[in-house]
């Protein structure tokens, strides 16, 4: 329960409350504007579904006024299905191993490795998938099967496998947390009745944790459906239906990323934004479904009419001989040994991609790290580098942080300290939902607000650093809000009471007591948010635009490092551009890894220092 001040609110309290409430209202308005802008931009197509046949035709030919998107929907569905078929058994098996079998030290190390795997930017996944998985893995496999290999291993299968690696950490982490919530008495009871470890996992832990595992799968599916850059770089981008094992294709996010930034105002732009609206709807349905399952799981349920299986030796089944019991135990022990090995293999297969990605990126990119890379431009004759992209990335991340942190912290204070306000419930819902919005959809929002503003009739878009920073800031908001609210909740109530007892007003208590006490956890949340946006590509393609030169001000088109990984990856092996791409990938992964390691060191046991006051 939150402590309350005994004396009347001061003028400072009214001003501070107004600031916090305004920050919360701003977050709500951003969410409302996102939906409204997308609907407005897509209305030319949405208002005439029979004419453009967006959801009923496979023919995408904008020059002929054909906007059938079934090819992209098919690609999105199939790549996501492949990813789920691979990732779900591996992720759940790895979670069961970590929860029930792994020694504490192994569990801690594997959890850290999974965090690093989740932190790798999607453009790096795409680059690795294109050069390693597709060209060196799937291409020889297709050749061995005698299949045509027109795209060097790239295609729907490669995209699905890359997506499976990307969603593995989400399935494993959430499933692990759910399994850890299974009461210890359930396990002890099963073991006391003679069950093996595997029998306990299969018959007790997994059935109890099933709703949470299903929720994890919904969340992972939403993540897979909304992925843009990794899929764009490995799916080969062909706009026709191909049902072969080595078939190529396209997805909704990838076609938006490739075509929207150069689409003039009109029907084509409206069709692409309509696809973004469809993508948003699918992702939100996945997210809401996961919440419904989790909420259902948290309620007590009575299991009536469930048949009861009697244990061996009880009335209701014929007595078994000693030889039969001995054979049954041996069979159970053999199954236990085999399944223990299978679960350990699942965990091993879950973390192997991390070492493959980091190792391959290091081998190909570390050698290109030199002074020229940090000080030269791509077209310099005296040496090639990406100094402008590094500078532009710093500008974009810095502006996004300057925008998102104060708004997010004030909104979180509003959620934590003004809980009786009627805006609290919708604000918390919107903040959680905003975190599930695909980055390409946020990019469309920034594109419609700044590049081709909805309130202006312009035929030429204006890409800028401000537009890119706004998109990144919107992506940071839910992370900062969630981290700050949780940090404030961990501050002991006794500190509030002591502050009020000494005559402090509410705003003084928040600013001088609660926020300093929660500062370590808030800083951790900010680092997490920065780590999330540091490797973003898709929203910046639609907003910042990119440039071959140093940006003079945020009003200019602003280059950013991930774009050059995506753009230069198309060049031939051995070219200077492809080497710059590898070096950029190595530098980007190094920065993101260091940020995540720093977050882990700062967070410790994920409690604020002041929580020890009790």
Q: Name the pairing type of β-strands 60-61 and 66-67.
A: antiparallel
* φ and ψ at residue 487, rounded to 5 degrees: -65, -40
Check if the beta carbon of residue 467 is closer than 8 Å to that of residue 543: yes
Q: Where does residue 491 rank: exposed (0-12), middle (13-18), buried (19+ CB within 10 A)? A: buried
Instruction: Please tell me the distance from the alpha carbon of residue 357 to that of residue 51, in angstroms, as a whole number.
Output: 46
Residue 153, helix vs strand vs coil = coil
What is the pLDDT, as a whole number, of residue 5? 56
Q: Which two tokens stand for residue 524?
A: 């951790």
What Å distances lie between residue 263 and 37, 135, 272, 395, 475, CA to CA? 17, 32, 9, 26, 24
What is the pLDDT, as a whole number, of residue 306? 44
User: What are the structural domain ranges in the chain?
Assistant: 12-41+367-614
What is the pLDDT, as a whole number, of residue 358? 94
Residues in the chain, overall count: 614
What is the pLDDT, as a whole number, of residue 1? 45
- Classify residue 263 by its DSSP letter: P
Neighbours of 540 (CB within 10 A): 30
- Between CA 16 and CA 21, with CA 17 as vertex, the angle to 5 degrees is 120
Instruction: Please tell me the distance from the alpha carbon of residue 430 to that of residue 446, in angstroms, as a whole number.
Output: 18
258 sits in which H/E element: helix 252-259
- 469, 460, 441, 440: which is closest to 544 by C-alpha? 469
What is the pLDDT, as a whole number, of residue 610? 46
Instruction: Please tell me the distance from the alpha carbon of residue 426 to that of residue 428, in angstroms, as a whole number.
Output: 6
Q: For every residue of 290-355, which 3-state class applies, written as one string?
A: HHHHHHHHHCCCCCCCCCCCCCCCCCCCCCCCHHHHHHHHHHHHHHHHHHHHHHHHHHHHHHHHHH
| 311 φψ region: left (φ > 0), alpha (ψ -120 to 50), beta (else) | beta
- 239, 227, 257: which is closest to 87 by C-alpha? 227
Residues in the chain where the model's pLDDT stays below 50:
1, 302-315, 605-614
Residue 67, helix vs strand vs coil = strand
| End-to-end CA gap in the chain | 15
Q: Which two tokens stand for residue 297?
A: 């799981």
- The alpha helices in 435-551, defined as continuous H runs, are 439-446, 465-490, 493-501, 506-509, 515-534, 538-541
* φ and ψ at residue 598, rounded to 5 degrees: -60, -40
What is the pLDDT, as a whole number, of residue 393? 93
Instruction: Please tell me the distance from the alpha carbon of residue 182 to that of residue 203, in angstroms, as a whole number.
Output: 12
The set of long-range contacts for 507-512, using a CB threshold of 8 Å and a minimum separation of 24, is 507/10, 507/12, 507/13, 507/15, 507/16, 507/17, 508/12, 509/5, 510/16, 510/413, 510/417, 511/16
604's CB contacts (< 8 A; 6+ apart) are none
Half-sphere exposure of 148 (CA within 13 A, CB side): 7
- 546, 567, 552, 562: which is closest to 463 by C-alpha? 546
Q: Which two tokens stand for residue 416?
A: 């934590």
What is the pLDDT, as a whole number, of residue 36? 94
> Which is the CATH superfamily of the domain at 12-41+367-614?
MetI-like (1.10.3720.10)
Residue 60, helix vs strand vs coil = strand
Instruction: Please tell me the distance from the alpha carbon of residue 466 to that of residue 414, in angstroms, as a whole number.
Output: 27
pLDDT digits (tens, 9 = 90+) for 158-201: 999 999 999 999 999 989 988 988 888 888 888 888 888 998 99
């Amino acid at each position: 329960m939150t402590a309350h001040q005994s004396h009347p609110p001061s003028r400072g309290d009214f001003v501070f409350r107004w600031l916090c409430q305004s920050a919360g209202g701003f977050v709500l308005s951003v969410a409302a504007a996102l939906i409204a802008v997308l609907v407005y931009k897509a209305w030319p197509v949405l208002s005439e579904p029979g004419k453009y046949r967006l959801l009923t035709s496979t023919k995408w030919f904008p020059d002929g006024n054909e906007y059938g998107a079934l090819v992209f929907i098919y690609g999105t569905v199939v790549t996501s299905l492949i990813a789920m078929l691979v990732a779900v058994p591996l992720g759940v098996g790895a979670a069961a191993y970590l929860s029930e079998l792994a020694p504490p030290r192994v569990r801690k190390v594997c959890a850290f490795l999974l965090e690093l795997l989740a932190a790798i930017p999607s453009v790096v996944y795409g680059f690795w998938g294109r050069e390693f998985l597709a060209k060196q893995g799937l291409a020889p496999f297709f050749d061995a099967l005698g299949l045509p290999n027109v795209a060097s291993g790239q295609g729907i299968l490669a995209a699905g496998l890359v997506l499976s690696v990307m969603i593995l950490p989400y399935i494993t982490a959430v499933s692990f947390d759910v399994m850890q919530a299974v009461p210890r008495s359930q396990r002890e009871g099963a073991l006391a009745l003679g069950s093996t470890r595997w029998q306990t996992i299969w018959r007790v832990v997994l059935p109890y944790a099933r709703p949470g595992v299903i929720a994890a799968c919904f969340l992972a599916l939403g993540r897979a459906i909304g992925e843009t850059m990794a899929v764009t770089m490995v799916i080969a981008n062909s706009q026709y239906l191909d049902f072969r094992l080595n078939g190529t294709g396209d997805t909704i996010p990838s076609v938006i990323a490739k075509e929207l930034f150069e689409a003039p105002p009109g029907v084509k732009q409206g069709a692409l934004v309509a696809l973004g609206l469809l993508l948003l709807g699918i992702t939100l349905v996945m997210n809401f479904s996961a919440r419904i399952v989790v909420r259902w799981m948290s309620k007590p349920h009575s299991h009536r009419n469930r048949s009861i299986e009697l244990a061996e030796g009880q009335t209701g089944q014929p007595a078994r001989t000693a030889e039969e019991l001995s054979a049954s135990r041996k069979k159970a022990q053999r199954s236990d040994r085999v399944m223990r090995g299978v679960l350990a293999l699942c965990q091993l297969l879950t973390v192997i991609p991390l070492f493959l990605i980091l190792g391959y990126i290091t081998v190909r990119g570390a050698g290109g790290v030199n002074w020229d890379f940090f000080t030269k431009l791509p077209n310099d004759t005296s040496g090639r580098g990406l100094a402008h992209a590094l500078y532009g990335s710093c500008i974009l991340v810095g502006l996004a942080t300057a925008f998102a942190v104060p708004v997010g912290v004030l909104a979180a204070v509003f959620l934590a300290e003004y809980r009786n306000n009627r805006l609290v419930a919708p604000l918390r819902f919107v903040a959680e939902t905003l975190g599930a919005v695909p980055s390409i959809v946020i990019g469309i929002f920034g594109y419609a607000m700044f590049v081709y503003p909805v309130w202006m009739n312009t035929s030429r878009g204006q890409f800028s650093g401000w537009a890119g920073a706004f998109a990144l800031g919107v992506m940071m908001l839910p992370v900062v809000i969630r981290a700050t609210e949780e940090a404030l909740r961990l501050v002991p109530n006794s500190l509030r009471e002591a502050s009020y007892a000494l005559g402090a007003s509410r705003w003084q208590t928040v600013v001088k007591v609660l926020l300093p006490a929660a500062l370590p956890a808030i800083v951790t949340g900010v680092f997490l948010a920065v780590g999330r946006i540091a490797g973003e590509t898709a929203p910046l393609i639609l907003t910042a635009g990119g440039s071959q030169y140093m940006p003079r001000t945020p009003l200019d088109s602003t280059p950013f490092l991930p774009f050059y990984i995506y753009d230069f990856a198309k060049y031939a092996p051995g070219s200077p551009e492809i080497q710059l791409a590898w070096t950029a990938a190595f530098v980007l992964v190094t920065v993101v890894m260091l940020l995540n390691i720093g977050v882990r060191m700062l967070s410790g046991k994920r409690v604020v220092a002041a929580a020890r006051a009790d």
